Amino acid sequence: MTFMSTSRCGSRKDGLFGRPGDFSPLNYSSLAGGRVNFPKRGRADCQSFLDSPVQSLKHVGSTTARHLKRLDIETVEDLLYHFPHRYLDLGRIRKISQLREGEEVTVVGVVRQIKRFRSRKGIRVLNIGIYDGTGYLYGVWFNQDFIADRLGEGTTAAFSGKVFFRYSRLQMENPLFEVIDEKTDLGRDTVHTSRIVPLHPATQKLSSARLRRIIKDLVDSCADLPDPLPAHLRTKRDFPPRALSFREIHFPSSEVSCKRARKRFLFEELFLMQLGLAIRKRRLGLDTRGIRHRGSGDLMERFCCLLPFELTSDQRRVIAEIRRDMEAPHPMNRLLQGEVGSGKTVVALVALLIGVQGGYQGAVMAPTEILAEQHFLKMETFLQGLDVNFALLTGGLTASEKGEIQRDIKDGNVDIIVGTHALIQDEVGFKKLGVVVIDEQHRFGVRQRVNLKEKGYSPISSRWTSGQQPDVLVMTATPIPRTLSLTLYGDLDVSIIRELPGGRSLTEHVKTFVCDKDHRRWAYEKIRSEIEQGRQAYIVCPLIEESDKIQTRAVMEEAARLQNEIFPDLRVGFIHGKLRPAEKEEVMQRFRKGSLDILISTTVVEVGIDVPNASVMLVEDAERFGLAQLHQLRGRIGRGQHKSYCILFADPATEEGRARMEAIRRIKDGFQLAEADLEIRGEGQVFGMRQSGLPDLKLAKVVRDVDVLLEARKEAFDIVERDPSLNFPEHRLLLMEVQRKFAANLDWLFHS
């Protein structure tokens, strides 16, 4: 039986087996009957066994190991945690003639028809019909012709998915499918298909049948694995033992046992993650010394008085939170979330000035030169009249310019330094770094964030400056759902700015349209109308140059077309990431000063660009952007007093794409939009869990499993409160497991 997933897999609403159920307590001793007993391993042996390469297992040669690596399986532990996506209970196969529209079912039949054609939009459509003796069901795939190579005529296959009645016939869109080899999958000699068949994620060259045999041998050899979950937690939550859970999640003896095993591992992975967060929060909060910023002077107050606007109540509240943190004896570790245009930069400047007032230096690291330059320009505006020295350090400077700025930083002649990754180069050293601000922090890797904070560390004395760590403020204009925030930033204090300055409301101030190509003339007329009223416009394209593979509008070609054919009488400029820094800054200066009417750009304008006169944002091929990106782009307009218009040209080919376009059209609040994005796409795609430094989630979905997340968080923080170093005898295995899970992320756990 060979499994291929052709769409994103998640848990079905009615459960893994197609129906809900509340189950009575399980008799574990009865399920354990028939297990193979193996010699007991010591803790060190078990750890060595789990860490050993997968090629050390029986039936895994070098070729199979290469195929497993494509599934991110390199060790024995990786293979153990390669859980099934779904299960196929051959005793519950539905007859096609009995199907009703809207049901999620599994059917088995013989492939009888294969048809390929192109839709009017140019999408390649593959129709494969199976017949089970009672009727036909058609699987429909888009731009996935290779599936026909697996499902030839005469092949017996299982289709799983939601049933639709369209074009006078039953069909499933992008169904999960199984190629069934009756000799090995349904015969007497098979190792595990007499009841419930696990469907592990597989590849074209490594079938799920082959995976099942490898995993079966492994599970049989793991009967004596020690259990890291404390006994009181297992008893309290009625969890089965670890070894039995591995057996039941991979090769269930019943629905009841499988669901209990999955529940245990779901809790375990969230619990271990929260345990790591709890350890780091305690260490940063209690075990490290911070700088008590209590310098005399009125620098912060004078700065606020010189601002040409009133601070919002949200800004004042967050400034008070930051000030309390910075006056405390422990280092500040605070996350500042704020809507686009909500005034996070001003709040960050206050934090930096608190440090400068006390004789310390501040650093601001941004992910792009354009954003770093934008911060620098705002400082020029806001810090006029104050005795504060600040500088800009980016990769685009000449060697002599960099050298001069680096010397000034090291000598303490610069109070605040703004820059990109150039700030973390070895050549950059601070005299007395006290405050670190990291903007759009999710764009940086863990090591990069750690490197900047360690600029407050003296390699000569191997001690933090004055024996203390600098305060850290990380900022993002990408709203993070509460559930994801608890997962990614459960160790940080969080501040949120929702209120926009000047009483502006994105809901009322910016109108969003999602259009097809038939509305292009209207869109261009809207742009011209706004420009005639003295406004400016952005046009955003996904690519720099035309691609034969992805037919999207590119900046260079679009700039020429619009200048020559659509707006020959207007001033059109373009900007993209491949321009030299000086060229980008020259174009942006012209746009800021109103010397350009239209700026055609890639997503380099996504964050940080502040041109209040821009009132139109047109985005080509919007379905190719994520919701967070689209919301950031939309945030470039509506920053002045003029009503603004965001026009998205989109032609989504999938349900997910259509859902995203409807969400961006309907939802204006960034936090609500982030929650919608999380539900549509899942947390892994939305925010890049891997780059956060956290272990990957195998089972948990933080939106779906928020209740389990909160329970796991409480248990984890309670344990760390009682036993901060996990030294109690009942926590020794737990400590080993935390060390194993975070072995590749020690910077994240102990330094970041």
CATH numbers and ranges of domains, the chain: 1-20+40-224 (2.40.50.140), 299-327+343-476 (3.40.50.300), 505-668 (3.40.50.300)
For the entire predicted model, the pTM comes to: 0.60
Neighbouring CB atoms inside 10 A of 16's CB total 18
d(CA 469, CA 752): 11
627: which 2 tokens?
Answer: 């919701």
Do the Cβ atoms of 541 and 555 come closer than 8 Å? yes
Cβ partners under 8 Å of residue 322, min gap 6: 332, 334, 347, 350, 351, 354, 473, 495
Q: What angle do CA 416, 420, 426 make, to 5 degrees?
A: 85
Given this model, what pLDDT does residue 447 score?
Answer: 56
Alpha-carbon span 353 to 361, nearest angstrom: 9
Phi and psi dihedrals of 61, rounded to 5?
A: -95, -170
Instruction: Classify the C-alpha dihedral 247-252-258-262 as positive or negative.
Output: positive
Spatial CA neighbour of 34 closest among 197, 248, 212: 248
Tell me 100's DSSP state.
-
pLDDT tens profile 567-604:
999 999 888 767 777 788 788 889 989 999 999 887 66
**H helix intervals, 593-705:** 627-634, 655-666, 670-681, 683-687
Element (H, E) at 511: strand 510-515
The per-residue DSSP string of 719-746 comes to HHHH-TT--SGGGHHHHHHHHHHTGGGH
Instruction: Tell me whether residue 515 is exposed, middle or buried, using C-beta atoms within 10 angstroms of its C-beta: 0 to 12, 13 to 18, 19 or more.
Output: middle
C-alpha 624/C-alpha 140 separation (Å) is 22
Three-class secondary structure of residue 195 per DSSP: coil
CA proximity to 223, closest of 249, 203, 251, 244: 244
- Beta-sheet strands, E only, within 375-509: 390-393, 416-419, 433-438, 457-458, 463-464, 471-476, 493-497
Position 253 scores a pLDDT of 86
For the chain, the C-alpha Rg in angstroms (whole number) is 29
Question: Comparing C-alpha atoms, which of 453, 397, 403, 395 is closest to residue 428?
Answer: 403
* pLDDT value of residue 17: 38
Which residue type occupies 507?
A: T
Low-confidence ranges of the chain (pLDDT < 50): 1-40, 183-194, 458-466, 546, 548-552, 685-693, 746-752
For residue 134, what pLDDT is reported? 94
Q: What is the pLDDT of residue 533?
A: 95
What is the Cα–Cα distance from 311 to 317, expressed in whole angstroms?
Answer: 10
Q: According to the model, what pLDDT value does residue 498 have?
A: 82
CA distance 2 to 97: 25
Amino acid in position 537: A
Q: Choose among 611, 623, 615, 603: nearest CA to 646.
A: 615
Provide the 10 A C-beta neighbour count for residue 581.
16
